[in-house]
Structure 1
Amino acid sequence: MFTTTEDKDIPRYAFEPDAATGHPMFRIDKNREIRNYRRLDFFVPHRKDYYFLAFVKVGSSRHWIDMKSYVLQPDTLYFTVPQQVHLKEDSDAPLSGISVCFSEAFLAAAEGHFLKELPLIQNPFNGHELKLNAADVVFVEDMLERIYTEYHTAGQWQQGMLMAYLKVLLIYLSRLYTEQFAASDAVPEKRILKQYLAYINERYTDSHEVADYAAVMNLSAGYLSEVIKAQSGKPPIAHIHERLMLEARRLLLHSELSVKEIAFELGFEDDSYFNRFFKRLNGQTPVAYRTDTRKMYH
Structure 2
Amino acid sequence: MNISTISEFEIHTLEWFAKNQVNTRHNTYEILWVKRGEGFLKMGPEESEISGQTIYCLQPGRLKQLVPAERMEGYYISLSADFLQLAETTLSFSLLSAQNDLLQIPIDEETEAEVEEILGKMRKEFINYFSFRLEVLKGLFKIFLLYTSRKYSYPVTFTKDAELLRRFMQLLKEHFITKKMVTDYAYELNITPSYLNQVVKKLSGYTASYHIQQYLVKEAKRLAIHSNRSMKEIAYALGFNDMAHFSKFFKNNSGVNFTNFKKGISLMIQH
Give the alignment's TM-score, normalised by structure 1. 0.47
CA distance 1:89–1:20, shift in 2 (3 Å): closer
The 3 A distance-change label for structure 1 pair 120 and 196 is closer
1:93 counterpart letter in structure 2: E
Q: For residues 165 and 11 of structure 2, what CA distance do their matches in structure 1 show?
A: 33
- Cα distance in 2 for partners of 1:22, 1:117 equals 25
Shift of 1:73: 0.6
Q: Which whole-Å deviations, capped at 9, do the CAs of 1:70-123 have from their partners, x for residues lacking one?
A: 21111111111225x334364552222211112234346x3xx73698334325
Note closer, same or farther for the CA distance 1:122–1:107 as it changes in structure 2 (3 Å cut). closer
Which residue is 1:187 aligned to? 157
Q: Is the contact between residue 116 and residue 122 of structure 1 (CA under 8 Å) also seen in structure 2?
A: no
Q: Is the 8 A contact 2:33 2:75 kept in 1?
A: yes
Decide whether the 8 Å contact of 2:40 with 2:69 is kept in 1. no
- Alignment partner of 1:61: what SS? strand
Distance (Å, rounded) in 2 between the aligned partners of 1:193 and 1:49: 19
- Which structure's residues are more often helix, by fraction? 2
Report the AA paired with residue 23 of structure 1: I
Deviation, 1:64, is 4.1
Describe the superposition over 1:115-163 as per-residue Cα deviations: whole angstroms up to 9, x where unpaired: 6983343253734211111112112111101111222332221111111
Distance in 1 between residues matched to 2:91 and 2:55, nearest whole Å: 20
SS in 1 for 2:134: helix
Q: Deviations over 1:27-77 (max 9, x none)?
A: 11123388x6434x53xxx65410111111222112244786421111111
Distance of aligned partners of 1:89 and 1:166 in 2 relative to their CA distance in 1, 3 Å threshold: closer
For 1:187, the aligned partner's letter is: T
Q: What pairs with 1:100-249 in structure 2 (closer than 5 Å)?
A: 100-107=77-84, 110=86, 114=88, 118-124=92-98, 126-177=101-152, 179=153, 181-182=154-155, 187-188=157-158, 194-195=163-164, 217-218=189-190
Task: Give the Å deviation of 1:176.
Answer: 2.3
Measured on the aligned residues, the alpha-carbon RMSD in Å equals: 3.9
d(CA) in 1 for partners of 2:161, 2:103: 25
Gaps of 5+ in 1: 1-17, 200-213, 220-239, 244-298
Aligned to 1:72: 50
2: distance between equivalents of 1:135 and 1:215?
A: 47
CA, structure 1 residues 69+136, in 2 after alignment: closer, same or farther (shift >3 Å)? farther
2:31 corresponding residue in structure 1:
53
Unpaired runs of 5+ in structure 2?
A: 169-185, 192-198, 203-271
For the residue of structure 2 that corresponds to 1:86, the secondary structure is coil
Per the normalisation by structure 2, the TM-score is 0.52
What's the % identity of the aligned pairs?
15
